[in-house]
């Protein structure tokens, strides 16, 4: 897919939105043109360029009550819904409804006139550092009463988190499956000559920062029991697996540990001995470890939803993606960094592959085969280290275009969410 100078063609599966809206004959595919995101947090403008239906149009009028809280809530929701690839957020300047007269309901005719399918309204009450939020979803075709209503009592620093929760419920209402807003990503990045650190960032590109580590050589972060784990090199030349916040190794397996993965009640480790790295597997506490691979360079373990183990191995020559000993990547001369993605349309494995001069992001069915391989990026610089959201709808990856990007599972609706770069990207909850 080639980016044009200003617009990217976007095709989005809208799942069961039509059924939720009570619309008959609702098309499962919408086509739109969308300007690439620049990380500014501004709402993307979507212009219909064909098809009988478009993205679900949602209106976010200002909340009643505290204007500062309202701005935070609306800004957070605008970004969430835009990044989801399911919604078009309408321009507030187009609204014609009399919000004061509507109160806690809506006048469907007023919102129908501006093309809204859904409306989110609410009340924000602030007392000191405490905030009371009341948020409601209205479906215009279903009249003036709300179809979803939630309230939250939080401190001022918890406004975004509460908004993410509500937005997840909005996605669940329309699709039957909650969103992943408010989750975190972790990655490693260079912090100096020969030095790497561990970083975390919210899934909308906010709240980024470096995490504590036992040394300045911290690699391959992953989510595990009760926190974030990573491999770290120590002054004595050892490499062990650590948990963020602890100074003691999480496991005591001999050898140099260069990364790990948790899933399905298991732990997989990359252990190097005598210059050869293999994948070992055992209990989450590091006990009962046994070698899974034998031969070649073996790295980047990742567990699937059924306990399948994907990893990179050069046992056949060039590095390729394997699942439980079976090669599944056949396109590209050098493939690495697999992650699982519980796509609503079927489980996929995402990976970065070099097919020419640049790296790109690909997906493949767990059973493998060239026919199931799909390219998510192309002719857009180098794109590396994909990660998948817990709901399986969104892919994050680093791009040489200048930062951390997200897209849907077809590689469309690409949005730059932060100007950071790194490697070994992992998404909380997946």
| pLDDT score, position 295 | 81
Provide DSSP, 398-415.
EETTTEEEEEETTS-S-E
| Residues whose CB falls within 8 Å of the CB of residue 246, separated by 6 or more in sequence, listed in order | none
Per-residue pLDDT at 154 exceeds 60: yes
Per-residue pLDDT at 343 exceeds 60: yes
Neighbours of 7 (CB within 10 A): 15
| pLDDT score, position 40 | 37
pLDDT above 70 as % of the chain? 88
pLDDT in tens, 357-386: 899 999 999 998 788 999 999 999 999 999
CA 75-80-86 angle, to 5 degrees, is 130
| Residues whose CB falls within 8 Å of the CB of residue 103, separated by 6 or more in sequence, listed in order | none
pLDDT above 90 as % of the chain? 80
Which tops the pLDDT comparison, 181 or 11? 181
Which tops the pLDDT comparison, 87 or 430? 87
How far is residue 156's CA from residue 131's CA, in Å, rounded to a whole number?
6
Mean pLDDT of the 403-412 span = 96
Q: How confident is the model at residue 96 (pLDDT cuts 50, 70, 90)?
A: very high
Per-residue pLDDT at 325 exceeds 90: yes
Per-residue pLDDT at 34 exceeds 80: no
Per-residue pLDDT at 201 exceeds 60: yes
Q: How confident is the model at residue 331 (pLDDT cuts 50, 70, 90)?
A: confident
Average pLDDT over all residues of the chain: 88
How far is residue 81's CA from residue 122's CA, in Å, rounded to a whole number?
17
| Residues whose CB falls within 8 Å of the CB of residue 317, separated by 6 or more in sequence, listed in order | none
Own/partner contacts of 331-334, CB < 8 Å, gap of 24 or more, are 331/355, 331/362, 331/370, 331/373, 332/362
163's tokens: 């908004």
Q: Where are the domains of the chain?
A: 8-175, 184-427
For residue 351, what are the CA distances in angstroms to 67, 302, 373, 397? Answer: 43, 11, 10, 10
Residues forming beta bridges with residue 68, ordered by sequence position: none
Cβ 118 vs Cβ 82: under 8 Å: no
Which tops the pLDDT comparison, 28 or 308? 308
Which tops the pLDDT comparison, 130 or 49? 130
How far is residue 146's CA from residue 119's CA, in Å, rounded to a whole number?
9
| pLDDT score, position 31 | 32
Per-residue pLDDT at 135 exceeds 70: yes
| DSSP-assigned letter for residue 92 | G
| Residues whose CB falls within 8 Å of the CB of residue 287, separated by 6 or more in sequence, listed in order | none
How far is residue 229's CA from residue 266's CA, in Å, rounded to a whole number?
14
| pLDDT score, position 39 | 37
Per-residue pLDDT at 47 exceeds 50: no
| pLDDT score, position 169 | 98
| H helix count then E strand count, the chain | 5, 33
| DSSP-assigned letter for residue 182 | T
pLDDT in tens, 261-309: 999 999 999 999 988 999 999 999 999 999 999 988 999 999 999 999 9
In the CATH scheme, what architecture does the domain 8-175 have?
3-Layer(aba) Sandwich (3.40)
In the CATH scheme, what architecture does the domain 184-427 have?
6 Propeller (2.120)
| pLDDT score, position 228 | 98
| pLDDT score, position 50 | 32
pLDDT in tens, 3-13: 322 223 333 33
Helix (H) or strand (E) holding 341: strand 334-343
Q: pTM for this one? A: 0.87
Per-residue pLDDT at 69 exceeds 80: yes
174's tokens: 């329309």
pLDDT in tens, 103-117: 999 999 999 999 999
| pLDDT score, position 353 | 96
How far is residue 284's CA from residue 271's CA, in Å, rounded to a whole number?
15
Q: How confident is the model at residue 235 (pLDDT cuts 50, 70, 90)?
A: confident
- Judging by DSSP bridges, how do beta strands 118-127 and 130-139 pair with one another? antiparallel
Cβ 380 vs Cβ 401: under 8 Å: yes
Which tops the pLDDT comparison, 52 or 202? 202
Residues forming beta bridges with residue 125, ordered by sequence position: 132
| DSSP-assigned letter for residue 192 | E
How far is residue 55's CA from residue 74's CA, in Å, rounded to a whole number?
19
């Amino acid at each position: 897919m080639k980016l044009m100078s200003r617009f990217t063609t976007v095709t989005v599966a809208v799942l069961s939105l039509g059924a939720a809206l009570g619309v008959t004959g609702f098309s499962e595919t919408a086509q739109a043109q969308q300007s690439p995101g620049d990380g500014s947090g501004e709402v993307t403008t979507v212009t219909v360029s064909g098809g009988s239906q478009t993205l679900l149009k949602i209106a976010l009028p200002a909340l009643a009550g505290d204007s500062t809280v309202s701005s935070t809530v609306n800004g957070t929701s605008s970004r969430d819904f835009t990044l989801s690839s399911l919604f078009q957020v309408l321009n507030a300047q187009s609204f014609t409804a009399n919000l004061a007269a509507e109160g806690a309901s809506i006048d469907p005719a007023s919102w129908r006139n501006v093309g809204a399918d859904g409306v989110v309204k609410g009340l924000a009450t602030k007392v000191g550092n405490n905030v009371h939020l009341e948020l409601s979803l209205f479906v215009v075709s279903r009249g003036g009463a709300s179809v979803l209503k939630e309230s939250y009592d939080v401190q001022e620093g918890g406004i975004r988190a509460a908004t993410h929760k509500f937005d997840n419920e909005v996605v669940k209402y329309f699709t039957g499956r909650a969103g992943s807003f408010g989750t975190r990503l972790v990655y490693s990045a260079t912090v100096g000559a020969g030095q790497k650190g561990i970083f975390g960032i919210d899934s909308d590109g906010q709240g980024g920062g470096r995490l504590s580590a036992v040394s300045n050589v911290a690699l391959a972060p992953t989510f595990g029991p009760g926190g974030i784990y990573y491999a770290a090199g120590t002054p004595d030349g050892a490499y062990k697996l650590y948990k963020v916040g602890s100074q003691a190794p999480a496991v005591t397996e001999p050898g140099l540990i260069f990364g790990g993965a948790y899933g399905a009640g298991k732990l997989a480790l990359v252990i190097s001995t005598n210059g050869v790295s293999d994948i070992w597997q055992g209990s989450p506490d590091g006990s009962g470890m046994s070698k899974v691979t034998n031969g070649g360079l073996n790295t980047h373990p990742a567990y699937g939803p059924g306990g399948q183990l994907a990893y990179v191995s050069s046992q056949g020559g060039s590095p390729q993606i394997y699942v439980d000993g079976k090669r599944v990547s056949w396109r590209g001369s050098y493939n690495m960094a697999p992650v699982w993605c519980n796509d609503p349309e079927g489980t996929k494995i995402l990976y970065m592959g070099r097919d020419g001069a640049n790296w790109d992001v690909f997906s493949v069915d767990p059973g493998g085969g060239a026919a199931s391989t799909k390219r998510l990026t192309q002719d857009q610089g180098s794109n590396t280290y994909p990660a998948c959201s817990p709901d399986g709808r969104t892919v994050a990856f680093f791009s040489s275009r200048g930062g951390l990007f997200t897209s849907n599972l077809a590689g469309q609706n690409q949005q730059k969410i932060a100007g950071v770069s790194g490697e070994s990207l992992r998404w909380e909850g997946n």
